[in-house]
Structure 1
Amino acid sequence: MLTPKERLYNTLKGNEVDRPPCICPGGMMNMIIEDVMDITGVTWPNAHTDAQMMADLTEGIYENKGFENFGVPFCMTVEAEAMGAKVYMGTKVNEPRVIEYPIESVTDWEKLKSINLNEGRSKVVLDAIKILKQKDKDVPIIANLTGPISLASSLMEPTIFYKQLRKKPKEAHEFMEFVTQNLIEFGRAQLEAGADVLTISDPSGTGELLGPKIFREFAVPYLNEIINSLREIKDKGTIIHICGRLKSIYNELNILNSDAISFDSITSVTKVVENVTNKVFMGNVSTFALENNTPEKLKSISNICLENGVDILSPACGIGPRTKLENIQAIVEAAKMYKK
């Protein structure tokens, strides 16, 4: 019997496993629900700024027969806040969000702060990972980074950013390189703190929004730069999550250097499997279904995902905090019972 850490690592590296893992990485792919807040007595928004609370919440999911991993933080605003964005910390059932951008144009990137790993929520995340490292050696700790396109579009008004990728490509590349270097430093610190696997979630870096040409020019090289830099520190597996329909960027996904591709429920698993090679496939249980369907129906949905070619069973995106614990337990149970 493999441990959850061994199972995830072996799956990401294409080795044989006893059954599929069932995970939810954290970061943009939030795993925290109200039921577990009530069980643990630890709630949002306080847990976003307290390392012990953050660690206790993600452990609470695993300890209550939920996802087979630890993953922090629970939103995609940590890096943006550290670089100068103003963030509203949300409520018990609403995640933090950016409410004020620090710059107005890609040409202003030099006004941004670099992430200080010794203060603020970036330090909270690192401290939470260190706490989790002492908890359970058999459970994988997943480091999380906001993807470079998504972080860039959290530092300035997104519609202006997308236009300037085309109109001011030189300055946009300078901006993207600055963003990427900060992500590398934060990712390195998470891995050195004890994280086992790296996930980069780039929901704003979709083929639908960017188109294949801009995706190839402004998403692929910076995602690969992060992956390549951080593999030198720890190569236990890497995951990239892309939202939206992937049909227009199948070719580009083939040149990403991650071990796994995670994708939304709007995208057909069978089509991705047919068109993307040399990747482990992760997903793609609808988060709408997770929140609104019965455990038995979710077991059926999970089995369909696995039969269609998913290697790692996971929600297709961040789950809603009102999702019931029994529904998460149902998809974990489906992974445990699955026989290919």
Structure 2
Amino acid sequence: MSKIIDFQCTYDNSVGINKEVTQNLDLEFPQAYKNWDSMALLAEALKDHNKATFCELPFCHTVEGEAMGGSINYGDENIGPRAKDYICTTAEELLALPEIDYSKGRISEVLKACKYLRQKGENVVLYISGPFTILNVLMDPRHVFKIFRKKPEVMKAIFDKFQKEIVGFVEEAQKSGVNMISYGDSTGGLNILGPKLSEEVVEMFTYPLFKRIEEILNDKTIVLLCPKTTFALLGTDKAVWHDIDLGVPIRYSEACVKVIGQTKFVGQMCIKNKEFELKNGIIKRISLL
């Protein structure tokens, strides 16, 4: 087996709210984070401010956890929603959490905003979180790692539950017309889990998840992996890279749009690094083994 290489993230797992943008919009916070129309307006304003090629939703990594019953601090115009109080202390409580209902709550509003923006012709990146990021909303990490170390079979059941929810979110995203899905789980990265647990996560969760996503992904949608996830798959011999030569230097964010339909997965750079340029014009597609 190869060795997992870590990717040094400089974006702190944040999608990003810009005060310069919010202060110029006639929106009330935190209500603006809860309604599809204000979400869409904010996403468009952030796209223009960042000179990006796509709109980004949501503005935090708490949507899935909230939809499963998590307690959220909705923030203000300076910072987006974040976890408030943990609601679980045991594995049994986690496993008893309800399935996500995509017809109600903030997660429904996010999907409505995505659909509206796509109908306007915008490229839309929907940020979907991995299991440790979702768990960070629901349970103190100390309890999570205790379960993982002492009861790996129970952790597998938790992973299976979360895998089902993430696959469901991908399905709903495609129904809403989302053409770019960004997946990240930096709180479950190599720098936090260490090599042994990182390998176990790939075997128990990450690889099976993306094999399932590969089956349901249509040719109008691409998944943008956080490089931490990419290197975990490569380092456990679960995936390989292949070059797609676009012929000219191009920003990574623009290249991701161009290769929709040519590959299901990319992930050599963080999509939040909007100025990163592929100077040789080559973007790498990820092929699962």
How does the TM-score come out when normalised to structure 2? 0.74
Q: Work out the CA distance in 1 between the residues paired with 2:26 and 2:127.
A: 24
- The answer for the alignment partner of 2:189 in structure 1 is 206
Picking from 17, 21, 25, the partner of 1:32 is: 17
- Name stretches of at least 5 consecutive residues in structure 1 with no aligned partner: 1-25, 261-277, 291-301, 313-340
- Name stretches of at least 5 consecutive residues in structure 2 with no aligned partner: 1-10, 244-264, 285-289
C-alpha change, 1:308 and 1:168, in structure 2 (3 Å) is farther
Q: Deviations over 1:76-134 (max 9, x none)?
A: 11111111111111121122121222211223323211111111111111111111112
Task: After TM superposition, list the pairs within 5 Å mapping 1:55-74 onto structure 2.
Answer: 55-64=40-49, 66-74=51-59
Picking from 201, 208, 225, the partner of 2:208 is: 225
Q: How many residues align?
A: 251
Q: Do the aligned partners of 1:223 and 1:256 also contact (CA within 8 Å) in 2?
A: no
Q: Which one is further off, 33-42 or 167-176?
A: 33-42
C-alpha change, 1:106 and 1:242, in structure 2 (3 Å) is farther
Matched position secondary structure for 1:117: coil
Matched letter for residue 156 of structure 1: M
Matched position secondary structure for 2:187: coil
Q: Work out the CA distance in 1 between the residues paired with 2:222 and 2:81.
A: 28
Q: Do the aligned partners of 1:142 and 1:199 also contact (CA within 8 Å) in 2?
A: yes
- The answer for the alignment partner of 1:142 in structure 2 is 125
Offset, 1:215: 1.2
C-alpha change, 1:38 and 1:259, in structure 2 (3 Å) is farther
- The answer for the alignment partner of 1:91 in structure 2 is 76
- The answer for the alignment partner of 1:45 in structure 2 is 30
1:282 aligns with 2:265: no
Q: Which runs of 4+ in 1 moved over 4 A?
A: 256-260, 305-312
C-alpha change, 1:61 and 1:259, in structure 2 (3 Å) is farther
Matched position secondary structure for 2:137: coil
C-alpha change, 1:187 and 1:285, in structure 2 (3 Å) is closer
Matched letter for residue 81 of structure 2: P
Q: Deviations over 1:133-182 (max 9, x none)?
A: 1212xx32112211122212332110121122111101111011111111
Matched position secondary structure for 2:188: coil
Q: Work out the CA distance in 1 between the residues paired with 2:130 and 2:241.
A: 13
C-alpha change, 1:258 and 1:195, in structure 2 (3 Å) is farther
Offset, 1:254: 5.3
Matched letter for residue 66 of structure 1: K
Q: Deviations over 1:223-280 (max 9, x none)?
A: 3333333332324321222569x99x585365258999xxxxxxxxxxxxxxxxx965
- The answer for the alignment partner of 2:134 in structure 1 is 151
Offset, 1:307: 5.6
Matched position secondary structure for 1:90: coil
